[in-house]
Amino acid sequence: MANYMKYGLLLLAGVAAFSCAKDSADSKIPESPYLEELTVSRAALAIPGEEEDDTDTDTGSGSDTKPEPPKYNGEEIFDLDFKPGDIIYVSQRTRSNFPFSKNDTGSEINPIYVYQYYTSDASWEDGYNFKPKSMDKALDWEEVRELRSVGNGFVLCAMYYPGDGKEGTRAVPSDQRSLTNLLRADIQAAYHSTSALYSRVRFKLYHVMNYFKINLYVPVFKETGKEGEDQLFSGYTPASLINAWVKKACPEFLINWSGNISSDTSPGVEIANEDHKADIAMYSHGHAAVGENSGSDGDDGDGDGSDEEQSDVDRTRADEPELAYEDPGEPVPDDSVWATIRPLGDPISINVKEFLPDELAKIQPLPTEADGSMVDEVYLFSFSVIIPAQPAAFTNQFPGWMQFQFKEPTETTKNYYFNSQFVQNGTLQATKGTLQIMNLYLPRKGDEVILINADIKPWTDVETDMNLPEKKDDKK
């Protein structure tokens, strides 16, 4: 009898265990195979410029007439928050196909899922901020299962195009004079691997382009005497700078999703076609409408080169060559507010002796002070430009990889170039995911732009209001 009771109890325990196991398994079966929400952290700017952090970027002198160290406040032009309607594109990398790939007819090889921002009430640890734009564009976990894992995880990749950039864009705009086109170039990407289907998905976006912030110090116009019947001068008026480019850059790029990437880290970027080059027009932080006075006369009012004294034609850019690729930017009319470049404020004084090579300093039409300084009065112009990583030789191209074009009082134009081969240590490169702030000076005599100082920062910070934890090796 005892044996019968023993076996009966074991049978009841087994039935109970089976029932609990079944309930547990059933509780893990989702009501829908679709990923109905996900969490996305947008990359933020790595912003140098805190007062206590700037000492490592100066020229090493205690003079009060040196330029300010490179500073940049990203909030001036970059909105670090998602806007309602912002889109994230998601695709799966598999053993045989890359994400976002399309065949010769333009059809998707692996599905491309479309998610739309709808709320800011989310954190890295809890909550969601994106949902499918429509359910037919939602990630289907059963599709993910059928496409199979890579190694130990299912690999999901995301692309974000700020503004109204469209999916599939693989080039930066060649004309970044408008803020819209500049922001379109700030393409971001994320790589995430998960070993579990039907799990919470989080994407940590990274900047995958290279951002140059250029501060250009331009001497104020001065007459320096006469030679025969010709009036001599040096420097420029506030309205003289008419064009600014990054020269012969490769605007097309490829995301390398197959590299040695860990989950929640930045993917690699490669040049798509080195034969396709374009001159990239830079965004000016000190633009003004045609006919609008800049408020920075800088001289005594004689020949100040105000807008009213110059025709619109004087400030238009040269025609661009026909492009050999699909340019994602919108055309920027030359008579728009973006076509007129202006300094950021009133002239300032700097000691050029601190950074000018001796052979160049001795030919400048500037007096040497008793303390050995050589003070010049200059305007500060400021530019931004975003490009993909470039070949190693890009910053050493002849005559230079940056060009600044000025209109002289004689109505002729003069070009100045910056070439990194003259930079000590030769450290300037167009490298993926970097924010490079450069101070440049235009000498009164000579046509090569001089580097005052530079600050190179990683442009990969993802420090948002989500309070992201430090990267760990374990898969999430």
Q: Which residues make Cβ contacts (< 8 Å) with residue 450, sequence separation at least 6? A: 355, 356, 357, 360, 422, 440, 441, 442, 443
Reported as a single tens digit per residue, the pLDDT across 299-357 is: 433 333 333 333 333 333 444 444 557 888 888 877 666 667 999 889 999 999 999 99
Quick one: average pLDDT of 4-21?
Answer: 46
Question: Among 216, 272, 281, 276, which residue's Cα sits nearest to residue 389?
Answer: 272
Q: Choose the weakest-confidence range: 128-137, 153-162, 202-211, 467-476.
A: 467-476
**CA within 13 Å, CB half, 160:** 28
CB 208 within 8 A of CB 386: no
Is the pLDDT higher at 290 or at 39? 39
Number of helices (H), then strands (E), belonging to the chain: the values are 4, 22
What is the pLDDT at residue 2?
Answer: 52
What is the pLDDT at residue 145?
Answer: 95
Q: Report percent pLDDT > 70 for the chain.
A: 70
Is the pLDDT score of 82 beyond 80?
A: yes
Quick one: average pLDDT of 124-144?
Answer: 94
What is the pLDDT at residue 227?
Answer: 59
Position 455, amino acid: D
Torsion of CA 161, 166, 171, 176, to 10 degrees: -70
Residues across the chain: 476
Reported as a single tens digit per residue, the pLDDT across 424-435 is: 544 566 677 778
pLDDT band at 80 (very low <50, low <70, confident <90, very high): confident
Alpha helices by DSSP H, listed for 56-134, are none
Quick one: average pLDDT of 358-366?
Answer: 91
Quick one: average pLDDT of 140-154?
Answer: 93
What is the pLDDT at residue 66?
Answer: 67
Reported as a single tens digit per residue, the pLDDT across 166-202 is: 888 899 999 999 888 998 999 999 999 999 999 999 9
Torsion of CA 79, 80, 86, 91, to 10 degrees: 140
Instruction: Give 3-state DSSP helix, strand, coil % of the chain, rounded to 5.
Output: 15, 30, 55
What is the pLDDT at residue 77?
Answer: 76
| Three-state DSSP class for residue 74 | helix
Going by their DSSP bridges, the two strands 434-441 and 450-458 should be labelled as antiparallel
What is the pLDDT at residue 441?
Answer: 95
Q: Report percent pLDDT > 90 for the chain.
A: 41
26's enclosing H/E stretch is: helix 2-27
What is the pLDDT at residue 218?
Answer: 96
- Mean pLDDT, all residues of the chain: 77
Q: 371: burial class by Cβ within 10 Å (0-12, 13-18, 19+)?
A: exposed
Is the pLDDT higher at 433 or at 45? 433
pLDDT band at 1 (very low <50, low <70, confident <90, very high): low
What is the pLDDT at residue 295?
Answer: 41
Angle at 184 between CA 183 and CA 190, to 5 degrees: 100
Going by their DSSP bridges, the two strands 154-160 and 87-93 should be labelled as antiparallel
Quick one: average pLDDT of 405-433?
Answer: 76
Count of C-beta atoms within a 10 Å radius of residue 475 = 14
Q: State the Cα–Cα distance between residues 292 and 288, nearest whole angstrom.
A: 6
**pTM for this predicted structure:** 0.80
How far, rounded to the nearest angstrom, does the alpha carbon of residue 391 sit from its chain's CA centroid?
17
Quick one: average pLDDT of 144-168?
Answer: 90
Reported as a single tens digit per residue, the pLDDT across 211-242 is: 999 999 999 998 876 655 556 788 999 999 99
The two three-digit tokens of residue 154, written as one number: 């299912």
What is the pLDDT at residue 73?
Answer: 55
Q: Which residues make Cβ contacts (< 8 Å) with residue 461, sequence separation at least 6? A: 43, 44, 45, 46
pLDDT band at 460 (very low <50, low <70, confident <90, very high): low
Q: State the Cα–Cα distance between residues 271 and 172, nearest whole angstrom.
A: 12
pLDDT band at 48 (very low <50, low <70, confident <90, very high): very low
The two three-digit tokens of residue 242, written as one number: 């008419």
Q: 220: burial class by Cβ within 10 Å (0-12, 13-18, 19+)?
A: buried
Is the pLDDT higher at 259 or at 359? 359
Question: Among 458, 300, 302, 453, which residue's Cα sits nearest to residue 377?
Answer: 300
Is the pLDDT score of 399 beyond 80?
A: yes
Is the pLDDT score of 69 beyond 70?
A: no
What is the pLDDT at residue 368?
Answer: 92
Q: Choose the weakest-confidence range: 93-107, 285-299, 319-333.
A: 285-299
Is the pLDDT score of 126 beyond 80?
A: yes
Question: Among 88, 90, 100, 86, which residue's Cα sits nearest to residue 163?
Answer: 86
Is the pLDDT score of 376 beyond 90?
A: yes
Q: Which residues make Cβ contacts (< 8 Å) with residue 260, sequence separation at least 6? A: none
Question: Among 286, 240, 242, which residue's Cα sits nearest to residue 380?
Answer: 286
